[in-house]
Amino acid sequence: MKKSNDVKLWLLGLQTVLLIVLVVQLTVISDKLGAPVAAPSQPTPTPSAPSVPEPADIDMAALVDDDAVKGNEDAPVTMVEFSDFECPFCTRFFEQTLPQIESEYIETGKLKLVYRDYPLPFHPQAQKAAEAAECAGEQGKYWEMHDKLFETGVAGGVDSFKKFAKDLGLKTADFNSCLDSDQFADEVQKDMADGSAAGVQGTPGFIINGRLVSGAQPFAAFKQVIDAALAE
């Protein structure tokens, strides 16, 4: 009788072990079936370099007009900038990109920069700021006033422009008369009309040997276009 009980206990233990094994296996199979399938890895695409715009049929000599030039007059590349002294993106170009263009291309005689005005109508101080630079140019200090306007800002309007003229050592009576009489108002508007005709739609806009570059692009974008022009 005791032997029969031992057999029953042994069988009961075996059944319990088999049941546990079965539960474990079913759990593993369930986990595998419910697990998300990993997507096959895709190669990371390599970004392609932006293409250099094709030059348009633009008379660069005419586009230069009689405006202020920085750099070698005979430089092989001409960059005409259409800008607005009240435009924050123009200020960004002045602060971040222009210094690199000056050191790599203007100071080495490879490029000349021509500044022309493009005062946007919703910038209340832009027109007179442009006229102020032209009036300073009458006394040989266009670029000094250009830099002052961008560095200090134009929020102060005409009164601040007259102070800038004094700070730069200009003949203030002549400067004030030039500014108050709107002597260069038409010249500034002509710049804007020429820019629009060349394809400029906002500020800053640049024509580099016939190629249009729009906006405060990083130096690398300008370098690509300038190097392409130099290679021609």
27-86 per-position pLDDT tens digit: 545 555 554 444 445 555 444 445 677 777 788 989 998 899 999 999 999 999 999 999
What tokens does 189 get? 């508007």
Query: Higher-confidence residue: 7 or 151?
Result: 151
Tokens 């005709």 sit at which residue? 197
Question: Does 119 score more than 80 pLDDT?
Answer: yes
Peptide bond into 204 cis (omega under 30): yes
207-222 per-position pLDDT tens digit: 999 999 999 999 999 9
Return the H-helix or E-strand segment holding 114: strand 111-117
Residues in the chain, overall count: 232
Domains of the chain from N-terminus onward: 60-231 (3.40.30.10)
| Partners of residue 211 on adjacent β-strands | 208
- The conformation of residue 106, written as its DSSP 8-state character, comes to I
Angle, helices 185-197/126-137, rounded to nearest 10 degrees: 110
Average model confidence (pLDDT) across the chain: 87
SS3 content of the chain, % helix, strand, coil (to 5): 55, 10, 35
pTM (two decimals): 0.77
Task: Write the CB contacts of 198 (distance below 8 Å, at least 6 apart in sequence).
Answer: 56, 58, 63, 80, 82, 207, 212
- CA torsion through residues 176, 147, 78, 209, sign: negative
Tokens 């290679």 sit at which residue? 231
**pLDDT classification of 223: cutoffs 50, 70, 90:** very high
User: What's the confidence (pLDDT) of residue 123?
Assistant: 97
